[in-house]
Chains A and B, each alone.
Chain A
Amino acid sequence: MLRNTETRWGSVAQAFHWLIAALIVVQGAIGLTMVELGTTPTKVRVFALHKSIGLTVLALVLLRLAWRLTQRAPREMPMPAWQRAAARLSHFLLYVLILALPFSGWLFNSAANFPLEWFGLFHVPGLTRGLDPVLKAFALRAHVVLFWVLVAVVAIHVAAALWHHYRQRDDVLRRMLPSPRKRNLFRRQGVLP
């Protein structure tokens, strides 16, 4: 099913979730590595890659939100009110963070007056009128702080998903995974182990 059902996230929502999750892990790894590099063309290329993936994440998150708003989410699992509130809050925070993080990077890049080319294919305009040292310093700080906040919220998100799956033995994680039939199909095709 492409669309969400009462009990499961549809394949579009799942694709967005896992693709964006994977790209964010890659972005974190590149981001933490690239700042340690010396001033070489390799550094320039790695930064360019980080920017291109970041813009991709931003676009995917916007598409994901648009898709999310066109339909209902699956029914919420029965759980205590505080857990429901915590889940809603963390999901809301995750959306905000995965929007704000690439945006702050784009803002930093603009205020620093660096080039911006999406995978070398087309120019992406800056958000400022060239160099702006004050905004640049603010955007860089925001980018770093937002990243570590994201790491913390993702850690809670992952821990909660695993807790639901292994302790509560409910469907919270399973309904964000392909159905058993599809999982078998993926295994035969070698996509899943």
Chain B
Amino acid sequence: MKPRIVLALLLLLPAGAFARTWKVDPAHSSLAFTGTYQGERFEGRFKRFDAKIDYDPGDLAHSKFDVTVDIASVDTANTERDQALPGKDFFDTARFPQAHFVTTRFRKAANGEVLADGTLSLRGVGKPVTLVVGFAAQGNGATLDVGATLKRLDFGIGGGDWADTSMIGNEVTVRGHLLLQP
């Protein structure tokens, strides 16, 4: 086959193998989390992340999320905490600058909710994580809301002296809100 035809076939392949591919509007999308510190909740977010979304509620078998997060872009509205979080006691962004989440399969729960099973690689640890998926079509586009609860110690975030969960809670809820465009 001529190289040009191979190329054309390769370009056709994703369209056939995946559900609808969306563009993410970064200005109206967010990746936020809630943790607890000294008995109080605090809100944080990652300012930079890249989400590749192939999703069709009618074609879950071919849907896929592939998200890369720039961990050093963490912002918790506290200067000292934001300086500490990239350090080696916490995210250790010098060694692990990115987190990566990729879905392995989508399924429907008994209550009708869509669940996305996947693998989260964070701070060098890969763990299965399941997202609850909310999808709402809006005109040509859509909003996609996902949520999960993680345990920071599963990923070695704040180990050693910082493992004390009475000071920093183990559970962290993560929420993604994406504005999808065709």
Determine whether the beta carbon of B79 is less than 8 Å from that of A117: no
Interface size, chain A (Cβ < 8 Å): 19
What is the CB-to-nearest-CB distance from A162 to chain B, in angstroms, rounded to a whole number?
41
* Pairwise interchain contact A131-B79, C-beta atoms closer than 8 A: yes
Which B residue sits closest to A40, measured CB to CB? B161
Q: Does B136 contact A (CB under 8 A)?
A: no
Other-chain contact of B167, A39, A44, A123, A133 (Cβ < 8 Å) = A44
Q: B161 touching A114 by the CB < 8 A rule?
A: no
In the complex, chain B residues whose CB is within 8 Å of the CB of A120:
38-39
Interface centre among A39, A116, A130 (most CB of B within 10 A): A39
Given contacts A115-B37, A117-B38, contact A41 B161 (CB under 8 A): yes
Which residues from chain A contact B84 at a C-beta distance below 8 Å? 39
A39-B84, A41-B162, A41-B164 as given contacts; A113 in contact with B38, CB under 8 Å: no
Q: Does residue A48 face the partner (Cβ distance < 8 Å to B)?
A: yes
A48 touches B38 (CB 8 A): yes
Q: Which residues of B sit under 8 angstroms from A112, Cβ to Cβ?
A: 78-80
Cα distance, A112 to B164, chains bound together (Å): 23
Q: Which single member of A39, A42, A44, A113 contacts B78 (CB below 8 Å)? A: A113
Chain A residues contacting B40 (CB-CB under 8 Å) are 115-117, 123
Chain B stretch 117-174: residues in CB contact (< 8 A) with chain A: 161-162, 164, 167
Tally of A-B Cβ pairs under 8 angstroms? 39
Contact (Cβ within 8 A) B167 A130: no
CB of B77 within 8 A of CB of A130, answer: yes
CA distance A40 to B89 in the complex (A): 10
Task: Determine the interface band of chain B, counting residues with CB < 8 A from chain A.
Answer: 10 to 19
Report chain B residues within 8 Å CB of A117.
38-40
Which chain B residues border A42 with CB–CB below 8 Å? 161
Question: 1/0 per position for A19-44, CB-CB distance to B under 8 A?
Answer: 00000000000000000000111101
> Do the beta carbons of B79 and A133 come within 8 Å of each other?
yes
Encode contact with A along B62-86: 1 for CB under 8 Å, 0 otherwise: 0000000000000001111000100
Residues of B within 8 A of A40 (CB): 161
Instruction: Please determine whether A44 and B77 come into contact, CB atoms closer than 8 angstroms.
Output: no
CA distance A180 to B42 in the complex (A): 54
Residues of A with C-beta under 8 A to B79: 112, 131, 133, 136
A156 to chain B, nearest CB (A): 35
CB A128 to nearest CB in B, in angstroms, measures 11
Instruction: Assess the B39–A131 pair: CB atoms within 8 A.
Output: no
- Contact A41 B167, beta carbon cutoff 8 Å: yes
Interface of chain A residues 91 through 117 with chain B (CB within 8 A): 112-117
Alpha-carbon distance between A113 and B37 when the two chains are bound, in angstroms: 12
Residues of B within 8 A of A (CB): 37-40, 42, 77-80, 84, 87, 89, 161-162, 164, 167
Can you name 29 A-B pairs with beta carbons within 8 Å? A39-B87, A39-B89, A40-B161, A41-B162, A41-B164, A41-B167, A42-B161, A44-B38, A44-B167, A45-B167, A112-B78, A112-B79, A112-B80, A113-B77, A114-B78, A114-B80, A115-B37, A115-B38, A115-B39, A115-B40, A115-B42, A116-B40, A117-B38, A117-B40, A120-B39, A123-B40, A131-B78, A131-B79, A133-B79
Top 6 A-B pairs ranked by shortest CB distance?
A: A115-B38, A115-B40, A113-B78, A131-B77, A41-B161, A113-B77
